Structure 1
């Protein structure tokens, strides 16, 4: 009887699977390496932060456009203010917002004092003109008298010369005595002297009359200038528009009493606009007339140039004016805008995108190498709205963290998860 087949069984050894052991060994090695790397890096980094919470930018070498961001508004390039020419009562002919043309009447000023003074001075002018005419008549009368005197002296001289010739002939024929001859000679000398003095008196009198006439004429001319000036002032009581545009603000009430040089209203010339920008005081020394400015007007972008820079600082800001060509019929007075003032354009500058890391003063940055960010010293140069020049500490294609470092606690190394 056979119990079982155990006597026939032969023990056979199973073949060894080396590939399976190799895979298991490799997996164990990789896991150990990863654990070791994490262990080492976690011990060398003093802090860790998620990559989603930071912003990293690459260092580039390219052109750097230095610029300044500013805000402002559209203002009329020509917005004159109208002033009262004299004291009086104002009669306004327009309202705020009315359209006016250059030369149109804006208001009438009633000035009784000025009107009365004009009438008084015109009366004085007429009196002086009458005095001048009287001087002319008096001069003609005196000239006639002087000419008569001169003519009589001439007749007497002719008579004396004739008597002298008769006496000379008579003395030769012994018809008269020597005394009569001498008397004739004396009469001739007296006549010559009288004629000479008459001539001088006539010349002096004519000069005197000419002087008096010139003085009278000067008085009339002076008074005429006074009257002309008063006429000009009275004509200015009708206040005219100096530009074509609209009435901005009325600064006085209807029929109000106003003083000389008191502001009455403002006009706005809508044919020419400028941009008025408020620039931070720290950039004031870098501004210059003629600099290019990029203006953002709604959906439109236009280029302009700095035309004026205020020498005053108000609220830590400097006011600048930008002249540009009108680009739209939709442009309005006091329309808000943003601007970019282009200060400089420099080529081949090592730079990085501007970010909150500048809050650290621009002296340190965190350079990213793999999963580690190391704190390094840097030196910055020129800055613009979008970029910062890097003078030292990095090289091209390096990556640095440009977001805020407030959570880094000044750690030398940061682990990026």
Structure 2
């Protein structure tokens, strides 16, 4: 009878082994050291943020261009208005949108008063011409009479000279008395005096006739100017296009009564365009004539320059005009929308970093990336462009900083990136 299995059991003696406890101790020590090192790093950082949620940029050195981004539209550089030159009823010869060439009649004004005034002044001019011709005939008649008087005085003088010579010879031969000689001398003196006065009277009379003729001629010339002015006004009743292009807005109705110098229509010169840009008033003091502007018109980019700056601010914006070359451009249309960059400043060999939301802090602080951490540092920034910020101090080339918003950092001095 078998009571149990104790007779079959064998005692096994376990040997002492020291290897496994040693390796276990080493493993625990390494883990503790690593944890300590890790905890030491975290102890310097106040908290951690996800690096993938941040925008990081490198500080670089290069050419810095400060510019302004804005929008605008294409406008005609030359869009003159056509005005009525006189009061009257206007007849429009074109419609809005019609093409016109320079010098083409576009409207005419009917002014009966002006036509009547021209006819009256023309009649007066003809009368004055007739008066002038009459004065010329009268001057010729008077000149002939004066010449006759002068010739008669000359004849009397010659006769007195002969009588005086005869009397001188006769008195030597005692053929005449002394009284007859004296009479001949007196006659000669009288003849000389008459001839002398005749010469002066003729010269004065001729000067008087010349003055009267000149006065009459001046009256005719003055009247001719009056007629020419009225003729010019009548000719201007036919209003002509001042430029080649298309008709813009019609400012009066057909057959309307217009006053002098009233606008009738606008013309648009399609051969020359400019860009009209709206710039924020905060940049108004930095704008200057001649500044370079990069325009994007459709798929084309062209350079232009500021040609005009409005002196007033309208709805917190300043209106500017940009002149650019149209060579090689096609399909430009009036009021076409465009985008532009006004180049305010160009610097070379400048430290700069990409522009980002970090500038909301005023550009005085930044978070520098180093050894997996972001450390808050003080920096100094200068000019700001559309895409870059000038760095004046606190950073060096190839430094990396966070350029996204610093709101997640909560003004911490050091943040761990994970």
Q: Distance in 2 between matches of 1:80 and 1:308?
A: 17
Q: Distance in 1 between matches of 2:408 and 2:131?
A: 99
Q: Which runs of 5+ in 1 are unaligned?
A: none
Note if 1:345 corresponds to 2:346.
Answer: yes
What aligned pairs does 1:292-303 form with structure 2 within 5 A after superposition? 292-303=292-303
1:33: which partner in 2? 36
Q: Distance in 2 between matches of 1:214 and 1:407?
A: 99
Note if 1:280 corresponds to 2:280.
Answer: yes
Q: Per-residue CA shift, 1:130-177, capped at 9, x if unaligned? A: 111111011101101101111111121122222223323333343332
Q: Distance in 2 between matches of 1:169 and 1:61?
A: 128
Alpha-carbon deviation of 1:209? 0.8
Number of residue pairs matched by the alignment = 413
SS in structure 1 at match of 2:305: strand
2:120: which partner in 1? 120
Alpha-carbon deviation of 1:22? 6.3
- Please identify, of 267-276 and 373-382, the stretch whose mean Cα deviation from structure 2 is larger: 373-382
TM-score normalised by structure 1 residue count: 0.90
- Please identify, of 50-59 and 231-240, the stretch whose mean Cα deviation from structure 2 is larger: 50-59
2:13: which partner in 1? 11
Q: Per-residue CA shift, 1:69-106, capped at 9, x if unaligned? A: 12111111221121222222211111111100111011
- Please identify, of 15-24 and 259-268, the stretch whose mean Cα deviation from structure 2 is larger: 15-24
Q: Distance in 1 between matches of 2:164 and 2:355?
A: 124
What aligned pairs does 1:329-408 form with structure 2 within 5 A after superposition? 329-408=330-409
Q: Distance in 1 between matches of 2:193 and 2:68?
A: 98
Q: Is the 2:86–2:261 Cα contact (8 Å) retained in structure 1?
A: yes
Could you say if the C-alpha distance between residues 38 and 364 of structure 1 is closer, same or farther in structure 2, counting changes exceeding 3 Å? closer
Q: Per-residue CA shift, 1:238-295, capped at 9, x if unaligned? A: 1111111001111111122222222221111111212112222333333333332211
Could you say if the C-alpha distance between residues 3 and 409 of structure 1 is closer, same or farther in structure 2, counting changes exceeding 3 Å? closer
Q: Distance in 1 between matches of 2:86 and 2:48?
A: 78
SS in structure 2 at match of 1:94: coil
1:229: which partner in 2? 229
- Please identify, of 141-150 and 270-279, the stretch whose mean Cα deviation from structure 2 is larger: 270-279
SS in structure 1 at match of 2:405: coil
Q: Distance in 1 between matches of 2:229 and 2:416?
A: 87
1:321: which partner in 2? 321
Q: Distance in 1 between matches of 2:57 and 2:180?
A: 139
Q: Distance in 1 between matches of 2:255 and 2:129?
A: 39
1:200: which partner in 2? 200
1:155: which partner in 2? 155
Could you say if the C-alpha distance between residues 49 and 115 of structure 1 is closer, same or farther in structure 2, counting changes exceeding 3 Å? farther
Alpha-carbon deviation of 1:360? 2.2
SS in structure 1 at match of 2:341: strand
Q: Distance in 2 between matches of 1:61 and 1:182?
A: 126
Q: Distance in 2 between matches of 1:293 and 1:322?
A: 7
Could you say if the C-alpha distance between residues 25 and 169 of structure 1 is closer, same or farther in structure 2, counting changes exceeding 3 Å? same
TM-score normalised by structure 2 residue count: 0.90
- Please identify, of 216-225 and 394-403, the stretch whose mean Cα deviation from structure 2 is larger: 394-403
SS in structure 2 at match of 1:362: coil
Q: Distance in 2 between matches of 1:123 and 1:71?
A: 63
Over aligned residues, Cα RMSD in angstroms?
A: 2.5
SS in structure 2 at match of 1:168: helix
